Structure 1
Amino acid sequence: MMNLPSLLYYDTEAEYKQHYIDNYCNLCPISTFDGVPVMFYEDQFAHAFYHRTHKSWKAKKDKFSTDRGERMEWIKHTLMNPHIIPKKGYDKEKNCYDNTRRVSFLSEENYLVVIYVNNRGVGKFVTAYLVDNELTAEKIRKSPRWER
């Protein structure tokens, strides 16, 4: 197993955003261990690094998540880790698995990275976070394999 990168500790949300821009957006694409190029875009920052203060999954993400920001360097680590078996993402609205969503799940940490993969095989970073519910984590572990 590869060692996890250290957590990032910044004082402000702006510093986390600048780190994301400098180390992801400006360096993309970053390739997964199996060669899927992944693009990172600045306008995805709020979706990826904010969380909902309201419990409904349909509620707007409205608050910066320090937990997500601190683990930002785990995104590359997770995508590039050859020991992780990519899984199909689950579409809650359609109530089915979706092969355009590729989920990389770092089981030991319950850390998840989601990318959207278009029909040309290019990925777009969607989000990354700690799964805080063991039932959900187990569902992810049992999800079908993602296939090209």
Structure 2
Amino acid sequence: MFYESTARNGIKDAFPPVRAQRIDWIKATLEHPTAALSEGWDKTFRQYDATRRVAVVYEDFVVVVAMSLKLDGSLKANFVTCYQVDNSIGKIRTSPVWSLAACLHLPGGTP
């Protein structure tokens, strides 16, 4: 998750120092009580996905997790990615607000 491709071929072969400086930001962003939480964009279906939670706190630093349920019914989050946003922060900040009800498709949430 902290490596990047130097040849843009999908093979992540380099550990960039810039990313290393932000490793601690992931936990801090996920635990921040006032993080801006929004739904993630599903580019395949060209719509927002309530099971993708995007958290933004530090200097437009984004952490994306995929939410699901464990077999025992408890909530689980899988790390997807994190990155420093450049020109798309406006789109992220105007995305639908993430809610647990919508994520779980509960009454009051979007299907």
Gaps (5+ residues) in structure 1? Answer: 1-47
Provide the TM-score with structure 2 as the length reference. 0.74
User: Which structure has more strand as a fraction of its residues?
Assistant: 2
Gaps (5+ residues) in structure 2? Answer: 101-111
Letter of the 1:126 partner, please give it.
V
Partner of 2:75, secondary structure, is: coil
RMSD (Å) for aligned C-alpha atoms: 1.9
- The equivalences for 1:1-148 within 5 A come to 48-53=1-6, 60=10, 62=12, 63-106=14-57, 109-119=59-69, 120-131=74-85, 133-134=86-87, 136-148=88-100
User: Which structure has more helix as a fraction of its residues?
Assistant: 1
Q: In the aligned structure 1, how far is the partner of 2:90 from the partner of 2:11?
A: 24
Percent identity, aligned pairs only, is 37
Against the structure 1 CA distance between its residues 73 and 87, is the aligned structure 2 distance closer, same or farther, given a 3 Å change threshold? same
Against the structure 1 CA distance between its residues 139 and 72, is the aligned structure 2 distance closer, same or farther, given a 3 Å change threshold? same
Residues 68 and 128 of structure 1 are in contact (CA less than 8 Å); yes or no, is this contact kept in structure 2?
Answer: no
Provide the TM-score with structure 1 as the length reference. 0.57
